């Protein structure tokens, strides 16, 4: 018989955005009942705590001493669970042959990802970029169908997001090709103009990679002194067909720009991501990064992972998913309901996942946090996989 887990006595954030003191019953990986005085074979007391949708991170490269280049993703998944992520998408930034090898390796060691239900699939940030940001130029390659098909084959149907600079030759055809297969194409690392970006959106692009970051603004001829010239960022803020990621640490994106994005895109089209790197979540100090990136310095969750040997350039963030949630509330002043939208519901809707909300029939991916938003429990598919 299926055992029922009941989460009792918590303040549950319901799908309509209100908190209610109710119990939640889950079975077979789904939420099956929400109400008063529920009981089950297994009960978890959430008295004095919030019960929230599990956090979904669309973009991260590493956490702790783990990275996407690790031999397996087991410890990666465990650390993500300890920071509130019920779904995450390991993001590869490497040359095509290396990304292919790593995806094939991770599929083998995880029984085609079935053994690690937190992993929603792979994300390929490279190789189709116009410039690298803090990455390595050797990881980039021209767009070609042969390369695309080799990467998709190596991913075995698990590639869910592909980043592309829309100004590259062949970008529009590749966006159409990938979008037709249900893969989300994200505009990334670009110096495109408005017309090029709009053409990419017309072709099917539906996401913008870490908005405001690694956007190289093209030179603009000022039409008249004092006249504000419209650019790529302005277009993306008002383009309703795309969702925009933001690294919510206050360093990658100034808080005023986060507020601007929240007002223009609304929480329903804004996704908080970590873009975390190896050493994210670790105590302050210097750490050797993988992939020949050199030493990274951590100075807390909101100052990024900085490359000591490259003039302290940012190499991703030091955020964990739980830090993103906390920052949405404490740093950017959003209500808890809005924080869970940008950290859970919006990314779920982008990818068509049955997650991100607490409602009957939704996947039982949940977190229990205390009043300070410190994590107490992480629940994936109805199973408690982490307890503080």
Q: What is the pLDDT of residues 300-355, one digit of tens each?
A: 999 998 989 888 888 789 999 999 999 999 999 999 999 999 999 999 999 999 99
pLDDT at 32 > cutoff 70: yes
Q: Is the alpha carbon torsion for 78, 114, 54, 249 positive or negative?
A: positive
Please indicate, yes or no, whether residues 212 and 314 belong to a single structural domain of this protein: yes
Please indicate, yes or no, whether residues 188 and 211 belong to a single structural domain of this protein: yes
- H or E segment to which residue 207 belongs: strand 207-208
Distances (CA, A) of 54 to 13, 36, 223, 349: 11, 22, 48, 14
- pLDDT digits 0-9 by tens, 49-99: 999 999 999 999 999 999 998 889 999 999 999 999 999 999 999 999 999
Please indicate, yes or no, whether residues 77 and 168 belong to a single structural domain of this protein: yes
Please indicate, yes or no, whether residues 373 and 333 belong to a single structural domain of this protein: no
pTM higher than 0.85, yes or no? yes
Query: What residues make up the domain containing 203?
Result: 55-355
Supply the CATH number for residue 44's domain: 2.30.40.10
Residue 131 pLDDT level (bands cut at 50, 70, 90) = confident
- Structural domains of the chain, count: 2
pLDDT at 189 > cutoff 80: yes
Please indicate, yes or no, whether residues 361 and 250 belong to a single structural domain of this protein: no
Please indicate, yes or no, whether residues 3 and 152 belong to a single structural domain of this protein: no
Residue 230 pLDDT level (bands cut at 50, 70, 90) = confident
- H or E segment to which residue 6 belongs: strand 5-13
Please indicate, yes or no, whether residues 333 and 371 belong to a single structural domain of this protein: no
Q: What is the pLDDT of residue 214?
A: 66
Please indicate, yes or no, whether residues 146 and 1 belong to a single structural domain of this protein: no
Please indicate, yes or no, whether residues 314 and 216 belong to a single structural domain of this protein: yes
pLDDT at 220 > cutoff 80: no
pLDDT at 292 > cutoff 70: yes
Please indicate, yes or no, whether residues 234 and 381 belong to a single structural domain of this protein: no
Q: What percent of the chain shows pLDDT beyond 90?
A: 84
Q: For residues 205 and 183, what is the distance between their CA atoms, to the nearest angstrom?
A: 9
Please indicate, yes or no, whether residues 349 and 363 belong to a single structural domain of this protein: no
Q: For residues 258 and 65, what is the distance between their CA atoms, to the nearest angstrom?
A: 29
Residue 104 sits at φ, ψ, to 5 deg, of -60, -40
Supply the CATH number for residue 123's domain: 3.20.20.140
Please indicate, yes or no, whether residues 202 and 134 belong to a single structural domain of this protein: yes
């Amino acid at each position: 018989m299926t055992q029922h887990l009941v989460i009792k006595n918590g303040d549950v954030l319901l799908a309509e955005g209100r908190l209610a003191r109710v119990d939640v019953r889950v079975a077979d990986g789904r939420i099956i009942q929400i109400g008063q005085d529920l009981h089950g074979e297994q009960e978890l007391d959430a008295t004095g705590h919030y019960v929230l949708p599990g956090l979904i991170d669309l973009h991260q490269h590493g956490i702790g001493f783990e990275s996407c280049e690790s031999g397996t993703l087991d410890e990666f998944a465990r650390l993500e669970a300890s920071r509130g992520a019920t779904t995450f998408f390991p993001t590869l930034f490497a040359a095509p042959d290396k990304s292919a090898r790593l995806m094939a390796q991770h599929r083998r060691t995880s029984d085609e990802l079935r053994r690690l239900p937190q992993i929603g699939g792979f994300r390929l940030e490279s190789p189709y970029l116009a410039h690298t940001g803090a990455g390595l130029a050797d990881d980039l390659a021209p767009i070609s169908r042969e390369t695309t098909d080799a990467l998709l084959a190596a991913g075995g149907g698990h590639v869910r997001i592909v980043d592309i600079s829309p100004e590259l030759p062949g970008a529009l055809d590749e966006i159409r090709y990938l979008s037709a297969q249900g893969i989300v194409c994200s505009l990334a690392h670009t110096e495109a103009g408005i017309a090029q970006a709009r053409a990419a959106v017309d072709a099917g692009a539906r996401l913008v990679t870490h908005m405001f970051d690694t956007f190289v603004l093209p030179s603009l001829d000022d039409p008249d002194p004092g006249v504000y010239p419209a650019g790529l960022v302005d277009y993306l803020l008002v383009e309703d067909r795309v969702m925009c990621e933001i690294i919510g640490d206050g360093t990658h994106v100034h808080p005023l720009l986060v507020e601007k994005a929240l007002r223009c895109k609304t929480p329903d089209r804004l996704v908080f991501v970590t873009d975390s790197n190896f050493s994210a979540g670790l105590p302050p100090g210097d750490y050797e990064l993988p992939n020949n990136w050199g030493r990274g310095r951590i100075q807390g969750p909101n100052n990024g992972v900085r490359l000591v040997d490259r003039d302290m350039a940012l190499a991703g963030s030091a955020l964990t998913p739980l830090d993103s949630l906390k920052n949405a509330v404490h740093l950017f002043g959003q209500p808890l309901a809005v924080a869970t939208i940008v950290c859970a519901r919006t990314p779920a809707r982008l990818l068509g996942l049955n997650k991100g909300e607490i409602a009957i029939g939704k996947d039982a991916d949940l977190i229990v946090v205390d009043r300070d938003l410190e994590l107490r429990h992480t629940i994936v598919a109805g199973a408690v996989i982490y307890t503080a």
